[in-house]
Every structure is written in C-alpha cells, then in structure tokens.
Amino acid sequence: MKVLQSRSFCSYINFFLFSLLLAVTANTQAVELTPRESHAYIQICAYCHARAETSAPVMGDIADWQRRAARVEGGFEGLVRNTIVGVGNMPPLGTCGYCTESEIRNLVATMSGLDSSVLNLAPSSDASKADE
C-alpha cells in the first residue's frame, strides 16, 4: 500500500513541478501543448530537459536553444530533425515512440520558446564562411 501511495504522491509532485515550469515559461511558449503532448513532456522530455545537470537544453532557456538552433543546419527545423533522428545522448524521437512529427515539433517549440517561422538560421560555420 505504501508503494502505491508513494507513486501517487510522486505523480502529484511531477504534475505540480510541470505546472510550475509551464507557468514560469508561459511567456516564452510558441505553442500550447495538447494533453497528450503534456503527458509526453512530463513522462519523457522532462527527464533531461528540466534538469540543468544534463547536456540537454533546459525548457525555457531561450538563449541556449537559440545558440543550438544557430549551430544546426536548418535552425528550428534542424532541431526538430535532430529530435526525430536522435543526436548526442538523445535517442531517436527522444524515446517518445508514440509521438508524431507534429507533436515533436510542438514539444520542441514549447521547450525552446522559439518560433519555427522566425528562426530558420544557417549553421554559424556557414555564416563565418560567407564573411570570408
């Protein structure tokens, strides 16, 4: 019985922390998550994207997400592509086997605070070559 109570308590804590995180970053969100996407964030994405000690960019850290978007070919679309195919320590689909491409796009937009129509940057290495 205690195991069930502690799991239930952990679920409430996770929900509270996620709600708090969304409230703090609400002004930077590019899209509103569906209940299914919110569930994916809480159960999958937040494991890495809500903790600063991981190498993953933290939800709401727009400066870090912008730097990453500037380094990857295709900007925002490159971030989405990397999420789908996997990059670094993140496996394909970020381990969200049931997420659609549209859901991945919404999750990346919400976590990053970036707008796909505004931020389609070329990689910074190409930009430096153009200056030469």
Q: What is the DSSP string of 35-88?
A: HHHHHHIIIIIHHHHT-TTSSSPPTT-HHHHHHHHHHSTTTHHHHHHHHHH-BT
The pTM is what?
0.67
At which residue do the structure tokens 């496996």 appear?
91
| Residue 23's pLDDT band (cuts 50, 70, 90) | very low
pLDDT, mean over the chain:
77
Q: What are phi and psi of 87, to 5 degrees?
A: -155, 140
Share of the chain above pLDDT 90, in %: 58
pLDDT score of 65: 95
pLDDT of 6 strictly over 50:
yes
pLDDT tens digits for range 56-94? 999 999 999 999 999 999 999 999 999 999 999 999 999
Q: In this structure, which amino acid lies at residue 29?
A: Q
Superfamily of domain 2-131: Cytochrome c-like domain (1.10.760.10)
Per-residue tokens: 96: 């969200």
Name residues whose C-beta falls within 8 Å of residue 108's C-beta, 6 or more positions apart in sequence. Answer: 76, 79, 80, 83, 114
CA distance 6 to 116: 40
Backbone angles phi, psi at 90, to 5 degrees: -90, 120
Identify the band that residue 24 occupies on the pLDDT scale cut at 50, 70 and 90: very low
Cα separation values, 10 from 3, 23, 44, 51, 59, Å: 10, 20, 15, 17, 21
